[in-house]
Chains A and B, each alone.
Chain A
Amino acid sequence: MGNPRPFVGGELEPEFEQEMLDFIERYGNSPRFIAYNSAEEPDWHKSETPYPVTMTTLARTEALRKVAPRHPIAGTLCRFRRFYQFAPIFDIPIMDAYRVGAPSADKGPLRWGNYLESVSAYTQDLKRNSEPSPIWVWAQGVHTWSGRAFVDGQIGNPIPTPSEARAQLYMQLGEGAKGVLWFRYMTPDNMENTYRNDFKKMKERIEELEKQRELRDWMKGWQVSESDLEAAFTQCREFRADTWAATQEMNTEMCMLRPILSRGDVYPRVWVQSASDRRKIYLAAIASDQAIVLFVANLDYDFRPRGYRFKPQKGIRIGIDRPYGCHLRNQPGLSKVSR
């Protein structure tokens, strides 16, 4: 049935309107554009009176619909449990929830790390509040956030590892995401320069706070030498290369599965029968008329500044009720799509 769309009216910001109209008049009908993003995290700030923000977002979206009637209008959201407030406005609601070393609308157990599995809850919440519209997600890839660059006086890994990126993406796909945008692509030089600047700023900030005696606990252990930093910048390129390669692999996997994932939907009748620790296995399925795709993630990991450490699970047994309308043979084939 989808949600009701009760919003009407709202005021447009004149500057936004002019900028948008000028752009779309010039380029807007190009087939290179598949959608317009009318809002970028309007739910980021907690607000006692969120109504005006919602109305502004609605006004922007309506204005875009008028000038680009053949394009879907998207919007990016970030605050879990408040997606209901904005998601019905858009043709394609999108959400971002980067779980490693990045700012987040929810509080994680650590300053620099959150539970990977919470990305599935985010995606579920967006889907439920957006139906029947398709949802897209921002996936955490090679990015610029530096929350895990320096942890407890030591150099960390600012970039999600391939395992961290893979687990997050698979949980998003398993919850029914129909489109994926990577946050983001960066060249090696761009990446290194960004982190050089981040470290420089952090060092200046620590020195400033030391003078004011207001140093926070997590900054007190600064013991990083110049040579340590140079080694870290070099290693940053290696971290980036690994994650970059993994994102290429995941792109290939998604392209292969596109015919199934785009037509299928979340199928709940799957379960983990046994594993080393079956409470720490994520399992989800997308069923189409031709096939089932299972997404499995290992949630038995420790938070580590240089990348979450996964403890391998053994002897995993999964049960599946055959979905009605999915035309499988009695003994269907199995293919491992991922690496």
Chain B
Amino acid sequence: MTSMETQQENGELAIELDSLQDAAIILIGDKELADSLTPDTRSILP
């Protein structure tokens, strides 16, 4: 996946991915929310 874009069409969202090798996760949300999601892996990593 190399780039993405969002469009507004009749109340729908459209997302384009240039490519997909195996699998991907995409978060659709406001920037403030995305910035607030910080990893805290201390509790589960050995």
With A256-B39, A332-B29 already in contact, the answer to whether A318 and B23 are too (CB < 8 A) is: no
Q: B16-40: which residues lie under 8 A (CB-CB) from chain A?
A: 16-31, 33-34, 37-40
Residues from chain A with a CB closer than 8 A to the CB of B30 are: 290-291, 328-329, 332-333
- Which of B13, B33, B40 is A291 in contact with, Cβ under 8 Å? B33
- Let me know if B37 and A259 touch, CB within 8 A: yes
- Which of A255, A281, A318 is B44 in contact with, Cβ under 8 Å? A255
Residues from chain A with a CB closer than 8 A to the CB of B27 are: 257, 260, 291-294, 334-337
- Which of A170, A255, A298, A335 is B34 in contact with, Cβ under 8 Å? A335
Residues from chain A with a CB closer than 8 A to the CB of B29 are: 260, 290-292, 328, 332-333, 335
Which residue of chain A is the closest to B37 with respect to CB atoms?
A256
- Let me know if A322 and B19 touch, CB within 8 A: no
Interface string of B4-24 (1 = CB under 8 A from A): 111010011111111111111
With A251-B44, A321-B11, A331-B8 already in contact, the answer to whether A337 and B26 are too (CB < 8 A) is: yes
Give A167 Cβ to nearest chain B Cβ, in Å.
4
- Let me know if A318 and B14 touch, CB within 8 A: yes
- Main DSSP-derived SS at the B contact region: strand
- Which of B4, B11, B18, B37 is A322 in contact with, Cβ under 8 Å? B11
- Main DSSP-derived SS at the A contact region: mixed
Residues from chain B with a CB closer than 8 A to the CB of A248 are: 41, 45
Residues from chain B with a CB closer than 8 A to the CB of A314 are: 18-19
Interface string of A236-266 (1 = CB under 8 A from B): 0000000000001001110111011000000
Interface size classification for chain B: 35 or more
Alpha-carbon gap, A296 to B13, bound state (A): 16
Other A-B contacts than A315-B18, A334-B15, A336-B4, 5 sampled, CB-CB below 8 A, are A255-B39, A290-B29, A293-B27, A322-B11, A322-B12
Which A residues are closer than 8 A to B by beta carbons? 162-164, 166-167, 170, 173, 185, 248, 251-253, 255-257, 259-260, 273, 275, 281, 290-298, 310, 312-322, 328-338
Which B residues are closer than 8 A to A by beta carbons? 1, 4-6, 8, 11-31, 33-34, 37-41, 44-46
A-B contact pairs, 21 of them (CB 8 A): A163-B23, A251-B44, A255-B40, A255-B44, A260-B27, A281-B20, A292-B29, A294-B15, A298-B22, A312-B21, A313-B19, A317-B15, A320-B14, A320-B15, A321-B11, A322-B11, A328-B30, A332-B30, A334-B6, A334-B28, A336-B4
